[in-house]
Structure 1
């Protein structure tokens, strides 16, 4: 197919010649993306045109002749090259554009157009002015980004696929310890500048993440002189905090910093109504579970760095990031028991008080050498981080109204202590050559070690006795070395990028207390291919392929679980294998004056995919009312003396490798500006997910049970975001999200609807902004699902966080509200990937 396309487009281009060049800004020497280049005859009749790419380059095909060449960019003086004779491929070199001082004041609102940049290979969302996330967390930011969704547990998915890699400034957000969902809830939304969504990454990127990559770019002030902003917020439920971004830039260095403090409470709730069956399928009992959690957290983050301009072509940046959070989560759970006829029997009360201390320190260094202005450069990156997470819980489980508390009640305490060290080194080399061609190569090494000590103790009499089922010492070690190379070129309207990545993985998952050592070594090749064709100015299509890997980490592999509930338990699986994905993507992009439309159809085929399954564990929670259990050597109750015995099976949720998964879907994004004061962004995604596989396990009676997980499920979600500039410098933003219902092999999940709104007013001569936002207006963001197993049928609802109202005040000094900060903006990698046009 590639040879056919190359031959076809070469034949088309034989009767054409190209006009190429590069456009930069006069002051900063930075490239101007989306500058318009128009080719006209000498009597001003337009024959062709195009837009500059991210590096300011353009390449336009015309028939041989004499032309007027016009270059335009908003807020810059237009440039016209008259009577240029073009009889062969012509490179106009670098064109420098000067700002037009007479229209600068009119352009300030035009900066809003850059809030969403839709490209064929990725989409970039500037979230600094997103009012609905003021005072929130990065998790809230991602939940407002098209194609991305965050469920009620905080899990992030891209186009419905949770196998996604989350990067912060181009670096892993976590490797093995604290879950990504928890990290995203710790970091404040006010620290985010942009979010890059890369649905099908090239060989240059880490192969991790079968569903794609989300790169979160933190704010780094780049304007000249001393400038910054302060933000303070308060909210209901209790959410108080503030942040400061300070920056000083001179000709020789740039000093940047960001500080934040938050003290918030995020109350949530859940319920599960379960019907239990005996071995013959008859109803044996009912249990209704009701849970309320508080989740109180206090913490701060501090990021400061120094960017040195060693000369005009060399930059060296060093930064330190410190994060510290303390929190507790008192959780109250009530269990109402009913017999087989639905007659109320008793109520158990379980109180789980969790306390957590999390501290993280990371040092990063970045060196960039630019050999010329055409993109020939060398980039070196390294980061070193240490993280400690200390979590304890005190659990009291009592039967209300009992007369024998020493028999009926249980008291437990748990410990989960994590220590993690990780480092990353990376080198990237870019060499443009010829006309429109570029070669890239690089190395990446990622190394991590995590020690997790988990312990559960039960009070028996006056002694704390260790429970071996929930006690372990886990060591996780990960060493990944990677090499990549890719080559791209463009001729005429056709461009391509071909790449190959090789990764060597050395993974150890060791249960040290059990002398259970698991070492997995493997190396893989990850090819990628991208083909683009530009039909006309603002209209282009692409087809791409890449191979991806998804390695299990964190709570996926840790056998220890939370005991907030002792009848519905989650536990990790240390024997999980990585899953491999072949990803195909077909995209189309069209730009009009007021509308940008992009769409894509995608297919992901995954081997050894893993998902969560529920099964009976073989354990029971035995409760005695006014009586005492008599058990045999197999711990089976043979007699109850002086009371009634009720045994409730413990249902276990765990991830497993589940054969093969086929995911097909399509999505479209629309960025529409019907008026200068109104902007609409919408996204729709539909996917079909098919799994083929069986799960076999041995139950507590030594029976082999096989569950058929062959399933076809359809899912979809949509999001609409509207922002309106009202008179008197008032802005109003409103967005809605809906995820459709979907089926899975063990049940069904109902649809989820949520809406957010915010209003803001500029005050103090535009130096300050006052904002009020409401997240989850209708308090409807709940996960509602049905689960059907041979032993139990249940209905669950879970609301991770209730409706939030936040008032924030922002003050800026020596900077404009919509300042684009062009001068040398650093994004931590990923923003300058070469796509061959």
Structure 2
């Protein structure tokens, strides 16, 4: 506690006030001009800062100097320049350029990406124009280099990527995060900032995607909202719907979100195993079929209080509740004839409350508390003659997590900025698994009851510096103390990002960072659970965090073509892979640490368009992957692989009046590896059509994702030394969806900080 109090006091000393210059840019008809560049210089032409306007023409730009020279530029308008002596410059009107040449009209094209303060910044309203995206989840997938793999967002060239909302770390596990993003309207995003090396004040290391919202509080009362519905047909039908409401007063902004989803998925697997035990080979073939179904309620209530024009307090409550969950798996084969049923004995609940304060002098602080409960009952029955068995297993996971942060930023003048801060996190996970057998078999040896307490302390310091107007540097060092059980880890995480503008069309960006990835709490428990009579899942109390080291070099040409070289190295890399036990006929799934995982590759993103009718974007990613482990149970391995990933995304304008757009896209990824396992190649083709009507307030979309049901590993092979295993997955990735969205009250929505449950769940 003394450490925290001292940190807070040190952050509140010697603050330097930075001012913001604000205004609105319009054309001569008072229509807002989006994506206009704002450049500030001193009166003797020394560069200070830059920004650009949002979708309603507004801008806000920091400076500690007055007066300044303000320059406004836009591809379609004449350059505007004036001397500014005040923070509020009001409305500025720009004159259109004459763009007629030999009776041929030159069509202006917005930049796809701009590098601002070391961040690859995308104007989302421009990027999503004519696209099929209806939610924030869809919008993220429209960013260049982003795709979904096993339910996780992947950024080409990065080990992992974290989603931030207005600079705040997301706080949900993958499924819960995806569910929330699918219910949040895409209109909430103003910009997306992609960073391969996040500055430490984000309290996230490595690559991030920061979704920037329009948090403006207006001078008059306003009520706005959006209603959305979705019907989704895979093997089973799914649906979701929700409402978002925002209420604005001159001092507050209140937002409310409620959504309900009913999700059911098909599961299945064919196991073909040649299992060596006691020097004999047993041919084991199992066919598994099943499903899981759960309804989900998501609720959020938040409020922003504007104390004055510089200070703000934000309070938010978020909850996700599953009233019930049910799953079923039937396994038939040569070794087992079993049924496995699982259900909850009480609702699965997550509750989070977050309080944040942001000052006008560069200081911010906040506290966050999360409670998570998941209690399930497993009913297992083995029917094969001679192996008859029956048991119930009650599993409980109760998690409490508390975190506190404090950050300070000083603008020192002449392009220098100093940043420092701290974060403390505490987590308590009380988990148990108790077996009850209805036959003579005693399962009590598999009972477990444990409590895991985890402490993490972070302290960082860093700086950023602008050299003239073509070179910037951002560097920091974070020290971390991590305590788990009786083990202490002390780590240092350096980070550096350099941006160099060689000329108006060429930008180079170098990123170097380090990070640490932690296993889920349930993976670190001493538990054993059963999928069928041949397959069991084990926890691992000896799991260690993985340490990542990343390097990326980006070249951005003409603000739209992106070329990347990258290298990633992960020490103590961990993942879950199967193993044919050497002391019994059992297939074991257990998360293990490897020696390392390394990846070296390149990426290119090339957009092109034909008039206003057709727009396309091509991505090619090639990489070399290598993994090594000296302790894969009683074996060791070194595995490497060359792979490519490619994507072609096409958008068509069928009609302007009525407003009808269509999409056709395709992706392919070649053979990959996971430890000693080989994963077969995959591909997908998606298509869709969207009709926007009722003065752009309503959207109706019809989409078919993964037309050929092929975007999942249909076959996994483990053929190494004593291991001889093939698994064929039952794929349920094709989705036919129909969605409807209606906005009312001139909806300009606001996105939310999500709740970190990345390590919750079983």
Fold shared, TM-score > 0.5 on shorter chain = yes
Residue 379 of structure 2 aligns with which residue?
394
Q: Which segment is superposed worse, 718-727 or 378-387?
A: 718-727
Instruction: Give the whole-Å Cα distance in 2 for the aligned partners of 1:434 and 1:545.
Output: 26
The alignment status of 1:501 with 2:478, answered yes or no, reads: yes
Query: Given the alignment, which residue of 180, 193, 197 partners 1:187?
Result: 180
Partner of 2:492: 525
Number of the residue aligned with 1:656: 592
CA distance in 2, matches of 1:715, 1:118: 29
Does the CA contact (< 8 Å) of 1:268 and 1:802 recur in 2?
Answer: no
| Residue equivalent to 1:12 | none
Q: What secondary structure does 2:295 align onto? A: strand
Residue 576 of structure 1: which of 517, 534, 543 is its match?
A: 543
Q: Does 1:292 align with 2:256?
A: no
Q: Quote how far apart the aligned CAs of 1:32 are.
A: 8.4
Per the alignment, residue 262 of structure 1 pairs with 261
Note the 1:320-335 alignment, pairs <5 A: 320-335=317-332
Q: Provide the residue aligned with 2:351 in structure 1.
A: 361
Deviations 1:630-689 (A, max 9, x none): xxxxxxxxxxxxxxxxxxx10212222222333222223344454345443443332222
Q: Separation in 2 of the partners of 1:170 and 1:800?
A: 36
Q: Which runs of 5+ in 2 are unaligned?
A: 1-18, 27-31, 42-46, 54-58, 64-68, 97-106, 755-762
Q: Name the CA distance, whole Å, in 2 between partners of 1:425 and 1:585.
A: 31
2:195 equivalent to 1:206: no
What is the rounded CA distance, in whole Å, between the counterparts of 2:292 and 2:92 in structure 1?
51
Match of 2:7 in 1: none
Q: State how 1:817-836 maps to structure 2 within 5 Å.
A: none
Is residue 2:459 matched to residue 1:483?
Answer: yes
Name the CA distance, whole Å, in 1 between partners of 2:325 and 2:591.
27
Instruction: Give the match for residue 312 of structure 1.
Output: 309
What are the superposed Cα offsets for residues 715-740 of structure 1, whole Å, 9 maximum, x if unpaired? 33233333333312112233322221
* Cα distance change on mapping 1:482 and 1:122 into 2, 3 Å: farther
Q: Which residue of 2 aligns with 1:767?
A: 697
CA displacement 1:87-112 (0-9 Å, x = unmatched): xxxx9986947365999xxxxxx999
**Structure 2 residue 700 is matched with structure 1 residue 786:** no
Does residue 240 in structure 1 map to residue 246 in structure 2? no
Q: 1:600 to 1:27 in 2, by over 3 A?
A: closer
- Per mean C-alpha deviation after superposition, the further-off stretch among 347-356 and 409-418 is 347-356
- Tell me whether 384-393 or 164-173 shows the greater mean CA deviation: 164-173
The offset of 1:56, in angstroms, is 6.2
Report the 3-state secondary structure (helix = DSSP H, G, I; strand = E; otherwise coil) of the residue aligned with 2:542: coil
Aligned residue in 1 for 2:642:
714
What is the CA–CA distance in structure 1 between the aligned matches of 2:114 and 2:383, rounded to whole Å?
56
SS at match of 2:307: strand
Change (3 A) 1:148 1:69: closer
In the other structure, the counterpart of 2:360 is 370
1:409 aligns with 2:410: no
After superposition, give the CA deviation of every residue in 1:130-166 in whole Å (9 maximum; x if it has no partner).
976658x95x7766654344334x3454437665545
Q: Cα–Cα, structure 1 residues 291 and 692, in superposed 2: closer, same or farther, change >3 Å?
A: closer
SS in 2 for 1:476: strand
Displacement of 1:230: 0.5
2:569 aligned residue (597, 601, 605):
605
Q: Is the 8 A contact 1:443 1:481 kept in 2?
A: yes
3-state SS in 2 of match to 1:266: strand
Residues 562 and 456 of structure 1: CA distance in aligned 2, closer, same or farther (over 3 Å): same
Deviations 1:272-303 (A, max 9, x none): 222234555x6x33222222222211121111
CA deviation string 1:142-198 (max 9, x = no partner): 66654344334x3454437665545566555559xxxx3332354350226456543
Given candidates 479, 503, 521, the residue that maps to 1:554 is: 521
1:614, distance to aligned residue in structure 2 (A): 3.6
- In structure 1, the residue matched to 2:6 is none
Question: What is the distance in 1 between the residues matched to 2:568 and 2:516?
Answer: 12
Give the direction of change, closer, same or farther, for the CA distance of 1:217–1:667 in structure 2 (3 Å limit): same
TM-superposed CA distance for 1:754, in Å, is: 1.9
Distance 1:606 1:143, change over 3 A: same
Match of 2:56 in 1: none
1:456/1:124 CA distance change after superposition, 3 Å: farther
Shift of 1:435: 2.6
* C-alpha separation in 2, matches of 1:798 and 1:166: 29
1:630 matched residue in structure 2:
none
TM-score of the pair, normalised by structure 1: 0.73
- The Cα of 1:325 is off from its aligned counterpart by 1.3
1:384 to 1:125, Cα distance in 2 relative to 1, 3 A? farther
Quote how far apart the aligned CAs of 1:459 are.
2.1
Partner of residue 352 from structure 1, selected from 341, 352, 366: 341
User: Structure 1 residues 504, 571: CA separation in 2 closer, same or farther (over 3 Å shift)?
Assistant: same
Residue of 724, 736, 739 corresponding to 1:805:
736
Structure 1 position 420, deviation (Å): 0.9
Question: Using the alignment, how far apart are the partners of 2:455 and 2:198 within structure 1?
Answer: 22
SS in 2 for 1:332: strand
**8 Å CA contact 2:36, 2:52 repeated in 1:** yes
Q: Distance in 1 between matches of 2:70 and 2:315?
A: 43
Counterpart pick for 1:669 among 605, 617, 638: 605
Contact 1:24 1:32 in 2 (8 A): no
Provide the rounded CA distance (Å) in 2 between the counterparts of 1:327 and 1:582: 41
| Aligned partners of 2:592 and 2:632 also within 8 Å | no
Query: For residues 311 and 734 of structure 1, do their structure 2 counterparts lie closer, same or farther at Cα, with a shift above 3 Å needed?
Result: same
CA 534–827 in structure 1, closer or farther in 2 if over 3 Å, else same? farther
Matched residue, 2:228: 231
**Which residue of 2 is the match for residue 631 of structure 1?**
none
* Counterpart secondary structure, 2:325: strand
Task: Measure, in 2, the Cα distance between the counterparts of 1:465 and 1:725.
Answer: 67
Pick one of 448, 455, 469 that aligns with 1:472: 448
Task: Work out the number of aligned pairs and report it.
Answer: 690
In the alignment, which of 736, 754, 758 is matched to residue 684 of structure 2? Answer: 754
Counterpart Cα distance in 2 of 1:424 and 1:34:
39
Pairing 1:622-641 to 2, within 5 Å after superposition = none
Deviation string 1:310-364 (CA, Å, 9 cap, x unpaired) is: 1111111111111101343433333322xxxxxxxx8724343344732111111
In structure 2, C-alpha distance between the alignment counterparts of 1:186 and 1:57, rounded to whole Å = 34
Distance 2:297 2:129 in 1: 22
CA distance in 2, matches of 1:764, 1:297: 35
Which residue of structure 2 aligns with residue 536 of structure 1? Answer: 503
2:145 to 130, 144, 147: 147
Q: How far off is 1:69 after superposition? A: 8.6
Q: Distance in 1 between matches of 2:179 and 2:597?
A: 33
CA distance in 2, matches of 1:396, 1:496: 62
Q: Which residue of 1 aligns with 2:433?
A: 454
Q: 1:802 to 1:32 in 2, by over 3 A?
A: closer
* Counterpart-to-counterpart distance in 2, 1:74 and 1:415: 64
Structure whose CA Rg is larger: 1
SS in 2 for 1:468: helix
Structure 1 residues 474 and 688: CA distance shift in structure 2, 3 A: farther
Residue number in structure 2 paired with 1:44:
none
Task: Give the TM-score, by structure 2 length.
Answer: 0.80
What SS class does the counterpart of residue 177 from structure 2 fall into?
helix
The 2-side partners of 1:132 and 1:396 are apart by 46
- Superposed CA offset, 1:106-126 (max 9, x none): xxxx99969876765445584
2: CA distance between counterparts of 1:421 and 1:307? 26
SS of the aligned residue for 1:460 comes to coil
